């Protein structure tokens, strides 16, 4: 059966294309979900009207996505992570971390739409691509900072020394006379 796609379908075709599919696939899946319309049904004018509606809807959606992309370009995601002394992270920043922060800022972005070229394992500012759909992409700045709540190694060592000295004094006076 020949159908005209109203939306792009992976592995099948792009929006507006006329493709041939099995009858059951068209009748039971594509047409009821309004993903496609039958190319054999009705007149050519109806199909042309459908295509105009599809293109108009796509242009409107693309404009909305472009506005979202402009807002995302101005957004900075701040992540506070545990890091070692050489500014290397314990672990790495994942798309889920970034998606959660974007959700808190009011952007509905799925972690699958984030493109991190290589794992983020250092502190600093990194750029992450966000695919919004219809070929629209935005770059988000991710600022990775060191967690400040922990104690440094020097502070821990200084605290341990007085305890060790106090413990050795107590060890010498275990109740026996000198």
The predicted pLDDT at position 45 comes to 67
Residue ranges of the chain with per-residue pLDDT less than 50: 149-172, 178
Does residue 142 share a domain with residue 93? yes
Question: Does residue 110 belong to any structural domain of this protein?
Answer: yes
CA dist 132 and 138 (Å) reads 8
Question: Does residue 164 belong to any structural domain of this protein?
Answer: no
Compute CA distances 148 → 82, 84, 144, 145, 152, whole Å: 9, 12, 12, 9, 9
CB 136 within 8 A of CB 64: no
Q: Of 16, 46, 64, which residue constitutes the final position of a domain?
A: 64
Question: Does residue 11 belong to any structural domain of this protein?
Answer: yes
Domain span holding position 112: 72-146
Does residue 78 share a domain with residue 49? no
The predicted pLDDT at position 169 comes to 46
Compute CA distances 39 → 10, 13, 28, 55, whole Å: 20, 15, 16, 17
The predicted pLDDT at position 40 comes to 75
Does residue 80 share a domain with residue 60? no
Hey, which residues does 66 pair with through a beta bridge?
none
Burial class (CB within 10 angstroms; exposed 0-12, middle 13-18, buried 19+) of 85:
exposed
Does residue 138 share a domain with residue 79? yes
Dihedral sign, Cα of residue 12, residue 17, residue 20, residue 21: positive
Q: The domain that contains 131 carries what CATH number?
A: 3.10.430.100
Burial class (CB within 10 angstroms; exposed 0-12, middle 13-18, buried 19+) of 70:
exposed
The CA-CA-CA angle for residues 167, 169, 172, to 5°, reads 110
Burial class (CB within 10 angstroms; exposed 0-12, middle 13-18, buried 19+) of 67:
exposed
| Total number of domains constituting the chain | 2
Question: Does residue 92 belong to any structural domain of this protein?
Answer: yes
Burial class (CB within 10 angstroms; exposed 0-12, middle 13-18, buried 19+) of 5:
buried
Q: The domain that contains 20 carries what CATH number?
A: 3.40.5.10
CA–chain centroid gap for 34, Å, is 28
What SS3 state is found at 85?
coil
Q: What is the pLDDT of residues 81-114, one digit of tens each?
A: 999 888 899 999 999 999 999 999 999 999 999 9
* % of the chain exceeding 90 in pLDDT: 52
CA dist 129 and 114 (Å) reads 6
Question: Does residue 136 belong to any structural domain of this protein?
Answer: yes
The predicted pLDDT at position 149 comes to 47
* pTM exceeding the 0.85 threshold for the entire prediction: no
Does residue 76 share a domain with residue 142? yes
Question: Does residue 156 belong to any structural domain of this protein?
Answer: no
Does residue 140 share a domain with residue 79? yes
Does residue 100 share a domain with residue 140? yes
């Amino acid at each position: 059966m020949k159908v005209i796609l109203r939306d792009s379908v992976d592995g099948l075709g792009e929006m507006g294309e006329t493709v041939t599919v099995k009858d059951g696939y068209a009748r039971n899946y594509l047409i009821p979900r309004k993903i496609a319309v039958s190319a054999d049904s009705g007149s050519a004018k109806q199909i042309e009207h459908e295509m105009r509606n599809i293109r108009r809807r796509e242009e409107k959606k693309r404009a909305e996505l472009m506005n979202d992309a402009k807002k995302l370009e101005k957004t900075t995601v701040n992540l506070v992570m545990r890091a070692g002394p050489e500014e290397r992270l314990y672990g790495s920043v994942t798309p889920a971390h970034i998606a959660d922060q974007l959700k808190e800022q009011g952007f509905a972005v799925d972690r699958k739409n984030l493109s991190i070229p290589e794992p983020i394992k250092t502190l600093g500012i990194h750029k992450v691509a966000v695919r919004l759909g219809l070929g629209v992409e935005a770059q988000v700045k991710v600022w990775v900072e060191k967690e400040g709540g922990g104690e440094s190694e020097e502070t821990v060592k200084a605290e341990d020394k007085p305890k060790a000295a106090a413990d050795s004094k107590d060890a010498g006076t275990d109740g026996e006379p000198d």
